Structure 1
Amino acid sequence: MGIETYAGRVALVTGASSGIGAAVVQALLRKGLKVVGLARRVDRVKALELPDAPGKLHAIQGDVTDEDSILAAFKWIKDNLSGVDVLVNNAGIIEESELTSAPTDLWRRVLEVNVLGLSICTREAVQDMLARGVDDGFIIHVSSLAAHSPPYNSDLAMYYASKHAVNTLLEGLRKDLVARGSKIRVGAVSPGLVKTEIFSHSKKITPGIFDIAPCLEAEDVANAVVYMLSQHPRVQVHDIILNATGTQ
């Protein structure tokens, strides 16, 4: 028993239009899942379709900072695909924001995407699984190496705090499901530096960092997601920490 258990079933991937999300979408399509890619840039999600892959892609426009948008996405999935069996909470952002001077809106956006949006998606997915009697579902958070260390720079403290929250929420979710007697599994993938668009709006960290620092590719994180889903139902891989070879 492995990831073939999920062939033909439904996976929802947030932040699916680029980077890690896009790589996860295509990795799951290759494994035969029906993949719902949720993102604001829906045209970019549609472009991820793999004609020769056994899976089927459904692109939905949505914003994880808008609860109504999330609820509408889950309703569409329920009405058209029966429900979510696998959730990959990938949507995440970095904002440089000093704790002593940054505008509240910057903090709020980081927390709305990285923590609240993730939590709402998780709640809706788990409630849907429980209502349908799905006992082999899977919730995967794309976290960060930042969840396992203190911030190296003061203006990234809120981002680091959000990722520490992600891993704390993961453990709380695991305990909740165990208390319910559910065998829905949970896990996190915590990568270090990954070559994506995440720094495209940064004023201090430029894309040039990928030329001078060891970094992972988005596919490396997607492979970790597939590995997690591939384990026997008795095995729950709780957290996978990934770092690029040569990182100091």
Structure 2
Amino acid sequence: MAQYKGRVALVTGAGAGIGAAITQALLRHGVNVVGVARRRARVQALALKDAPGKLYALEADVSKEESILAVFKWIRENLSGVDILVNNVAVLVDEDLTTAPTESWRRMLDVNVLGLSICTMEAIQDMIRRGVDDGFVIHINGLWGHNPPPNSKVAMAAATKQAVTALLEGLRKDLVARKSHIRVGQVSPGLVKTEFFNTTKHLTPEMYKTAPYLEPEDIANAVIYMLSQHPRVQVHDILIHPTCDPF
């Protein structure tokens, strides 16, 4: 991680759960973090007095392109640019494919696929423009990005995760063609104990009483592992199951 000390990371969905854990892990390793969330105060609360990294909290909605562009503009004007991007924010709507309102699908696609892609494009263009050849883009995906959906209610959500897997490989090939040493990767966890299921209809926090789960810090540790590898090593995907996961 020494090469990234004092550099700038952008973490989306930084206000809680996995994003919050990643933000604080990066701060502890001396990375300056721009934490983005729809509620700025939640990001501000993550500041660590004893951490060498500095936290910058910004309010943004990743489903809106103009909001994303405003974040990158602020970073360029105040911190020179992004060296690490962690695409963490995601939305889950658990409704049947034959009954779900179109708006539910649109929201997931706008955040999980388009928002992620716009953030990625802006970060890569910024790195190339500044001559940064050791940058890193990490997607927080999920096991649904590799496996068939377990039921119809999460089929569209799983489709967005599988799109992320395809986009990551496409990005890798794009950078190879450019002869760029910017690295990319994704972390794909199973069930993680977060606030993610507080607003879903069928998947509820009750599942944590019976199903094995991971903690947000487990995912943050995987991100640090990916970043800390020698520049010749690109860890492309880390799949993390909770111990005794039946799926």
For normalisation by structure 1, the TM-score amounts to 0.98
The aligned counterpart of 1:34 is 32
Query: Match for 1:157 among 147, 155, 158?
Result: 155
The aligned counterpart of 2:240 is 242
TM-aligned CA deviation for residue 224 of structure 1: 0.2
- Whether the aligned pair in 2 keeps the contact of 1:31 and 1:55 (CA below 8 Å) is yes
- Whether the aligned pair in 2 keeps the contact of 1:23 and 1:222 (CA below 8 Å) is yes
Query: Match for 2:86 among 78, 81, 88?
Result: 88
Alignment of 1:1-248 (within 5 A): 3-248=1-246
Aligned-residue RMSD, C-alpha: 0.5
TM-aligned CA deviation for residue 11 of structure 1: 0.1
Partner Cα distance (1:30, 1:106) in 2: 37
Give ranges in structure 1 of 5+ residues lacking alignment: none
TM-aligned CA deviation for residue 101 of structure 1: 1.7
Partner Cα distance (1:11, 1:211) in 2: 35
Partner Cα distance (2:229, 2:18) in 1: 21
- Find the residue that maps to 2:180 and give its secondary structure: coil
Partner Cα distance (1:32, 1:199) in 2: 32
- Find the residue that maps to 1:73 and give its secondary structure: helix
Instruction: Report how many aligned residue pairs link the two structures.
Output: 246
- Find the residue that maps to 1:115 and give its secondary structure: helix
TM-aligned CA deviation for residue 196 of structure 1: 0.4
Deviations 1:157-182 (A, max 9, x none): 00000000001000000000000010
Partner Cα distance (1:114, 1:97) in 2: 16
- Whether the aligned pair in 2 keeps the contact of 1:97 and 1:107 (CA below 8 Å) is no
Partner Cα distance (2:130, 2:186) in 1: 24
TM-aligned CA deviation for residue 211 of structure 1: 1.6
Partner Cα distance (1:206, 1:238) in 2: 31
Question: Which one-letter code corresponds to 2:45 in the other structure?
Answer: A
Question: Which one-letter code corresponds to 1:158 in the other structure?
Answer: M
Partner Cα distance (1:8, 1:49) in 2: 16
- Find the residue that maps to 2:10 and give its secondary structure: strand
TM-aligned CA deviation for residue 97 of structure 1: 2.4
Point out the more displaced range, 80-89 or 99-108: 99-108
TM-aligned CA deviation for residue 99 of structure 1: 1.5
Partner Cα distance (1:108, 1:55) in 2: 36
Question: Which one-letter code corresponds to 1:188 in the other structure?
Answer: Q
TM-aligned CA deviation for residue 126 of structure 1: 0.1
Partner Cα distance (1:74, 1:16) in 2: 16
Give ranges in structure 2 of 5+ residues lacking alignment: none
- Find the residue that maps to 1:36 and give its secondary structure: strand
Identity percentage over the alignment? 65
TM-aligned CA deviation for residue 93 of structure 1: 1.3
- Find the residue that maps to 2:196 and give its secondary structure: coil
Question: Which one-letter code corresponds to 2:51 in the other structure?
Answer: A
TM-aligned CA deviation for residue 202 of structure 1: 1.3
- Find the residue that maps to 1:17 and give its secondary structure: coil
Partner Cα distance (1:41, 1:200) in 2: 16
Partner Cα distance (2:207, 2:155) in 1: 20
Question: Which one-letter code corresponds to 2:203 in the other structure?
Answer: I
